[in-house]
Amino acid sequence: MSAILEKPGFNPDRKYKIIGTSPVKHDGFDKVTGRAKFAADFFLPGMLIGKFLRSPHPHAFVRKIDVSRAEKLAGVKAVVTRDDFPELKPGTGGGDMSRIAMAREKVYWEGHPVAAVAAVSETIARKALKLIKVDYEVLPHVIDPVAAMAPNAPILHDYLRTKGVKGPDAEKKTNVVERLELSVGDAEEGFKEADVVVEHTYDTKPMHQGYIEPQSSVANVSEDGQVELWCCTQAPWVYRDRLTEILKLDSAKIRIQQSELGGGFGGKTTFYTEPVAILLSKKAKAPVKMTLTRVEVMKATGPVSGTQTRTKMGCKKDGTIVAADSELIFQTGPYTGSAFTNAPQAMFTRYELKNVKTVSYEVVSNRPKVSSFRAPCVPQAVFGVEDVVSELAKKIGMDPIDFRLKNAIKEGHKTIYGETFTKIGFIETLEAAKACDHYKSPVPKGQGRGVACGFWFNRGGETTGTVNLAPDGTVNIILGTADVAGSRMSMSMMAAEEFGIPVDRVRSILADTHSLGYNRVTAGSRTTFSSGMIVVDATRKIIAELTRRAAKIWGVPEDGVIFEDGHCRPASSNVGNFEPLSMKDIASKTTYTMGAISGHSEMNVTGAGPGFGLHIVDVKVDRETGLTQIMRYTVVEDAGKAISPMQVEGQYQGGAVQGIGWALNEEYIYGADGKLQNAGFLDYRMPVASDVPMIDTVIVEVPNPKHPFGLRGVGEVPVTPTMAAVGNAIGECIGIRPRSLPMTPPKVLKLIEEAEAKGLLPKH
């Protein structure tokens, strides 16, 4: 175990010079001038354009693919189909990945790739696609996960058997990938102690990550099989290792350079164009660029799991929650991999609960394979939990935040998944929420206020990085994690703080996969934490070397030298009377004689501090149209320590507005034919500037003692409670809480009518 993991050197009294300020991001300049190179901005001489042919059917056997006419079209340089992919066993990780990239036996969703063409122009590539003949045997399809669980549902995979099921059902053909039970105590017994029990069912719809930059990659394969790949990705090393697996390549022969990333939110943790671009380039013997259109992005990448859930909780009159019980169904698209197990682990992890039962199912159906999104699979479950919690509070006449405080977990809590928490900031977050101006101010007339809480584990994991000190005393940092919103700057700030030099003397870059060892995906709010740990560790190694060299220059023992504020100084006057040596003094004096001064670090970073947040939202609902307007929104969240507060605020605000979209508008709409009907930004409506107000933020700082600066990840938590908070606010406003996403005007209008009929509609 690396020393820094045991002794991070966190000091609560440390006075920071750079941490906690918000300097301009170094990578920002190129982004405001249009110079930044995103994936589609990359060009190579002689580059061809690659295009996909996609299935028009949601479910069909692919009998035959005839590409002969396409291949003969002038300007076409390569055509790729399933025959060009190594055959991997279906139902294995590699087998599934390969089949998502290019259909093999069957197509499983409308938009599933069946062939691809590389040509000298896009026009010719498109013409060639029209010349490919695919012979399909169309099969019955199933879109809805509950329908997919029914006994007579069309079966997607003959080989599939439900994991976690015993008895005769264990051998049945099914669309249910897994049944997972995660429980503690005895829920049934627990409910016996309850004075009040609340139970409801919920459904949430798949939403798309909605990054504005469509996936794009350029592959260049040389005659001897060396692959160069430029693409937008949150996971260059994961791409490398999976590409080597499904294309049977040597890792040493594939080098991936990540571009600037035009948004990912989890959706760029898995590849689409890359394996196909590589195969096309190999065949064509020229670089090939493949860029998805927005329609392709909507139909064939992402989205997020939709869910059907049932949640029941009970409490005593004094507000103590005694038991919880939940059943959750997650759709995953045609293949497993929804990360649904996060949900039962996280959904109640905020509250001190002795008796919990959860049963979760992951179900395949004829939709695009889901991909990660901020706190994968957790917001969907929280949408129900935080409704039930608020209703319990209301039923016993308690303030919703006080009710949550009464049941809040603290340091020492043992979670349902076995982790025991060290210092966490949930209580502090709730208290900060109670004290904030928004919560203290009365609910404006005619509006409704909702609150909801969220939790995310925050992650660490395998990370590497290098810090180099140049002879002129400036520093460059080579990072393996992707930068989704400004993490390069946070790394530069952490190194500058540790060295005690201005941050403008430091620059961070994103490495290609040949320049560093394996780095886990940038996801799960792990990057600033994990790469930060690596950078501080590497920085400390450089400081140790500077100290050694200063000792040598002065001819004193090493312990006679201390390092502070970017300088080596004699530890005391006993050591001698030496002028302090700056980093530049030492580096310029010794680099050309003793070698470069660098620090490198690699480790499986542990000690990520869990994150908690509470959202407060005021809404106004138009009773004639059912339209919900967000009037005021506040995000309160524990950041541990905000390295760059403006970037942290940006994460809170961005996450909340994505959640608002998911709450009010965003969904995948399918026709009876199994085809997606809203594959574009016009009909799949994400929030625009005029849909939302300013998003206020309160950064709570309860340091994570396992990190040198106390930080916690902040990116996932902000989306976890949003839909619940908005739902609760609408419920307050109209008297019935919506339990089906998105909470569109027609649905809300129906509830208003129902509330009116039942006499529940508040008067104002």
Partner 1 sequence: MSKKHHLAMNVNGDDYEFLCETHQSLLDVLRDELMLTGTKEGCATGDCGACSVTLDGRLACSCLVLAVECEGAKIGTIEGMARGDVLHPLQRNFLELNGLQCGICTPGILIAARSLLERNPDPSETEIRYWLAGNLCRCTGYDKIIRSVQAAAKEMRGA
> Which residues are at the interface with partner 1 (CB under 8 A)?
22, 24-25, 27-29, 31-38, 40-41, 43, 123, 209-214, 260-265, 293-294, 484-486, 646-647, 649-650, 653-658, 680-682, 686-692, 694-695
d(CA 646, CA 442): 28
Q: Report the 10 Å Cβ neighbour count for 705.
A: 14
Least separation, in Å, of the C-beta of 377 and partner 1?
20
* Smallest distance, partner 1 to C-beta of residue 298, A: 10
CA dihedral over 284, 287, 293, 295, signed as positive or negative? positive
688 contacts ligand FES (rule: CB under 6 A): no
- 8 CB neighbour count, 10 Å cutoff: 19
Nearer to partner 1 by C-beta: 198 or 648? 648
Residue 522: CB minimum distance to ligand FES, A: 15
Q: The sheet that has 461-469: what strands, in order across it? A: 506-510, 475-479, 461-469, 597-605
Site pattern 245..284 for ligand FES (x: CB under 6 A): ------------------x---------------------
Minimum CB distance to partner 1, residue 40 (Å): 7
**DSSP assignments along 240-261, one per residue:** HHHHHHHHT--GGGEEEEE-B-
Query: Is residue 705 part of the contact set for ligand FES (CB under 6 A)?
Result: no
| CA distance to 15, 495, 550, 695, per residue, from 580 (Å) | 22, 20, 9, 48
Q: The tokens 């080596």 sit on which residue?
A: 568
d(CA 316, CA 192): 10
Binding string, residues 331-360; x marks residues near ligand FES by CB under 6 A: ------------------------------
- Residue 212 or 594 with smaller CB distance to ligand FES: 212
Cβ proximity to ligand FES, 93 vs 263, nearer residue = 263
Taking CB under 6 A as the rule, does residue 680 contact ligand FES? no
Residue 210: which of ligand FES, partner 1, none does it interact with, CB under 5 to 8 A by kind? partner 1
Q: Residue 95, interface with ligand FES (CB under 6 A)?
A: no
Identify the helix (H) or strand (E) that includes residue 33: helix 28-33
Pick 303 or 650: Cβ nearer ligand FES: 650
Closest CA to 345 of 332, 328, 365, 331: 328
Work out what residue 120 binds among partner 1, ligand FES, none; the CB cut-off runs from 5 to 8 Å by kind: none
**In the complex, minimum distance from the CB of residue 263 to ligand FES, in angstroms, rounded to a whole number:** 5
Instruction: Output 484 or 543, the one with its CB closest to ligand FES.
Output: 484
CB of 77 to partner 1, least distance (A): 17
| CA 272/CA 266 separation, integer angstroms | 14
For residue 6, the minimal CB distance to partner 1 (Å) is: 34
User: Does the footprint of ligand FES cover residue 138 (CB under 6 A)?
Assistant: no
| Token pair belonging to 595 | 């070698």
Query: Cβ closer to ligand FES: 249 or 657?
Result: 657
Shortest Cβ contact with ligand FES: which residue?
212
CB 116 within 8 A of CB 65: no
Q: Is 629 helix (H, G, I), strand (E, B) or coil?
A: strand
Q: Which is nearer to partner 1, 20 or 517 (CB)?
A: 20
- Taking CA atoms, 75 is separated from 44, 69, 117, 118, 222, in Å, by 18, 12, 10, 9, 20
Per 3-state DSSP, what percentage of the chain is helix, strand, and coil (rounded to 5)?
30, 25, 45
Structure tokens at 282: 């190999």
* Separation between Cα atoms, residue 80 and residue 65, nearest integer Å: 11
Distances (CA, A) of 151 to 146, 173, 362: 10, 10, 16
Closer by beta carbon to ligand FES, 349 or else 658: 658
List, in sequence order, every residue forming a beta bridge with 521; answer none if it has no partner: none
- Backbone dihedral region for residue 408 (phi beyond 0: left; psi -120 to 50: alpha; all else: beta): beta
Q: Judged by CB, which is closer to ligand FES: 263, or 500?
A: 263
514 binds, among partner 1, ligand FES, none (CB under 5 to 8 A by kind): none
Cα–Cα distance for residue pair 763/746, rounded to 1 Å = 21
Of the two residues 199 and 691, which places its CB atom closer to partner 1 in the complex?
691
Cβ nearer to partner 1, comparing 296 with 362? 296
Query: Could you say which of ligand FES, partner 1, none residue 646 binds, taking C-beta under 5 to 8 angstroms by partner kind?
Result: partner 1
**Binding string, residues 166-205; x marks residues near ligand FES by CB under 6 A:** ----------------------------------------
CA nearest neighbour of 286 among 119, 501, 506 = 119
261: partner contacted, choices partner 1, ligand FES, none (Cβ within 5-8 A by kind): partner 1
Nearest by Cα to 178 from 12, 6, 338: 338
Q: How far is the CB of 27 from ligand FES (least distance, A)?
A: 12
Size of the chain in residues: 764
Beta-bridge partners for 310: 201, 327
Please name which of 582, 639, 607, 610 lies closest in space to residue 22, comparing C-alpha atoms: 639
Question: What residue type is 332 in one-letter code?
Answer: T
> Closest distance between partner 1 and the C-beta of residue 641, in Å?
18
Closest distance of CB 697 from ligand FES, Å: 17
Q: What are phi and psi of 131, to 5 degrees?
A: -90, -5
Binding to ligand FES, residues 204-223 (CB under 6 A)? 212
Nearer to ligand FES, 374 or 739 (CB): 374
CB of 681 to ligand FES, least distance (A): 7
Nearest-approach distance from CB 329 to ligand FES, in angstroms: 32
Task: List contacts with ligand FES (CB under 6 A).
Answer: 212, 263
